[in-house]
Structure 1
Amino acid sequence: MFATAYPTAMSTRMLLASIHDVGPRSESAFDALQARFAELGVERPALLVVPDHWGEAPIRPGTRFATRLRSLAEEGHEIFLHGWYHRDTGTHSGVANFKAKHMTAGEGEFLGLGAIEAERRIREGRALLEDIIGRAVTGFVAPAWLYGEGAHAALRATGIALAEDHWRVWNPVTGAVLAKSPVITWASRTRMRRWSSLAVAAAARAVPLPKVMRLAVHPGDATSPELLASISATLASMLKTHRPARYAELQP
């Protein structure tokens, strides 16, 4: 296999594309999103995997889905642990309460967890996925990109080497910020959120972009032709100046 030759300017400008909420319950949406990425030139987006989505879709070793997940990792997809349940059952106050109400629909699982419980879920989730894929996970991304103090402490304790939120990618062990950029994503939950995400994506297609850009899609996006069209237009636009890249390339 020969590496793709990019112009020098583009070779230093990276696009990190990812599919979130990967699991047995979202497999058909995953297929549609992956096919759309591949059509536009992103053949191996990062996959953010939920071990047991909302407690209703456990990934079990030896199942057909587990076998497929291992094949995807072997093909070169980076695998991230993406919470455990992807469901927030905690109570919040202050700023955390605002985030829980307005930045997600009850899915900020790691926003209110204490350090002990957050560490348990990260350790058990990582062990499950690494047993299935036969290699280390690339990192951890909290559902809805929301982290509480307990989550940050757990990431340090477990030695997770890469995490991301809405605005940055960093190494939780060293604290080093590996990239600073917004993540372009879409929302399908309400008309207002759809409109807002479409507007942000359109703006991203019209302005100069940072050296490292991130683009993330979710299963719900596959249900909306309007969102899919925006995803395709945004991805195609970004690929004019940024090459598809791997999160691992950010590590020094």
Structure 2
Amino acid sequence: MVEAGSNSTSVMLVLHDVAPETWPDYQPFVQAVDEMGNVPMTWLVVPDFHHRNLLTHSPAFCRLLERRLARGDELALHGLYHADEGPAPRSLGEYFMRRVYTHEGEFYGLNEAQAMQRLEQGLEMFDAQGWPVAGFVAPAWLMSQGTRQALSQLPLRYTSTPQHLYRLPDFTAYEAPGLVWSARSAWRRGLSKIVSDWQCRRWRSADTLRLGLHPVDMRHRSSRDYWLRTLDKLLLQGREPLTKSTWLERQVVA
């Protein structure tokens, strides 16, 4: 049985798809959050985003991430390339997941050996930078069984899906509901606001809430401002801002 380790409520602010090319999208938002006070964030870092953003080729960006660590933020591994390069889909269900739901489910179809190789490459890059890493989040939250098997053998403490955090290596599940937008078009942004507002009401008394942001959210004023308003509202309600690692450390297994 899993029990919460604290009676206080919390909010986790999570930036997805962090890479040198997405930093200009995030920069104004991060500055606005910093102006709210001490709000630690979890940055989901892609070591070589779409094969064109190798972190080691961007020393200024690496120094930025080091400064964020010094502020109390957390860096987590978010795939290796954040690109689905597997064979063509072989079923209708697979086509939906890999071509309609997302084109970036990098770990959706990998076997254990393939997943292990990419995970180890990503962790080696973190290690070379001297960055601590406790968590892995698969692009689009899509993990094959092979990926789960590989994760159970690595010195990582957690992974997550849209509604849960999982303590590794045994995948102990903790409820941690998350809000996320699909902001690629005006109708998607409109629908995302309706759904997110409903979810906020539904999870009003939840122990924690995760806000899962993406670079495309930052490119549209309606979605960017929604996240700032929602974060501010949750903080005013008394929710404590935490990184994923800090939140997980407070949970106990009875």
Matched residue, 1:100 = 98
Q: Deviations over 1:97-118 (max 9, x none)?
A: 33223332x1111111111111
Question: Conserved in 1, the CA contact under 8 Å of 2:9 and 2:239?
Answer: yes
Question: Conserved in 1, the CA contact under 8 Å of 2:10 and 2:242?
Answer: yes
- Give 1:122's aligned amino acid: L
Structure 2 CA distance, aligned partners of 1:70 and 1:174? 30
How big is the shift at 1:62?
A: 7.4
Q: TM-score, normalised by structure 2?
A: 0.86
- Give 1:193's aligned amino acid: R
Matched residue, 1:162 = 158
Question: Conserved in 1, the CA contact under 8 Å of 2:133 and 2:156?
Answer: no
Question: CA RMSD for the aligned pairs?
Answer: 2.0
Q: Provide the secondary structure at the position in 1 that maps to 2:35.
A: helix
Matched residue, 2:62 = 66
Structure 2 CA distance, aligned partners of 1:172 and 1:65? 29
Structure 2 CA distance, aligned partners of 1:128 and 1:165? 24
Structure 1 CA distance, aligned partners of 2:216 and 2:164? 24
Residue 128 of structure 2 is aligned to residue 131 of structure 1: yes
Structure 2 CA distance, aligned partners of 1:158 and 1:220? 31
How big is the shift at 1:227?
A: 0.6
Structure 2 CA distance, aligned partners of 1:130 and 1:75? 19
Identity of aligned residues (%): 27
Q: How many residues align?
A: 240
How big is the shift at 1:169?
A: 0.2
Greater mean deviation of Cα atoms: 168-177 or 35-44: 35-44
How big is the shift at 1:171?
A: 1.5
Q: Provide the secondary structure at the position in 1 that maps to 2:153.
A: helix
Given candidates 73, 77, 98, the residue that maps to 1:77 is 73
Q: TM-score, normalised by structure 1?
A: 0.87
Higher RCO, 1 or 2 (CA under 8 Å, sep at least 6)? 2
Structure 2 CA distance, aligned partners of 1:100 and 1:222? 24
CA 1:153–1:192: 2 relative to 1, 3 Å = farther
Question: Conserved in 1, the CA contact under 8 Å of 2:20 and 2:58?
Answer: no
Question: Conserved in 1, the CA contact under 8 Å of 2:116 and 2:147?
Answer: yes
Greater mean deviation of Cα atoms: 91-100 or 160-169: 91-100
How big is the shift at 1:41?
A: 4.2
Q: Deviations over 1:192-218 (max 9, x none)?
A: 322221112222343424101111111
For 1:19-98, list aligned pairs within 5 A: 19-41=15-37, 43-60=39-56, 63-90=59-86, 91-92=88-89, 93=91, 95-98=93-96
Alignment gaps of 5+ in structure 1: 1-9
Structure 1 CA distance, aligned partners of 2:57 and 2:135? 20
Q: Deviations over 1:103-160 (max 9, x none)?
A: 32x111111111111111111101101221x242121000111111121111112232
Question: Conserved in 2, the CA contact under 8 Å of 1:155 and 1:173?
Answer: yes
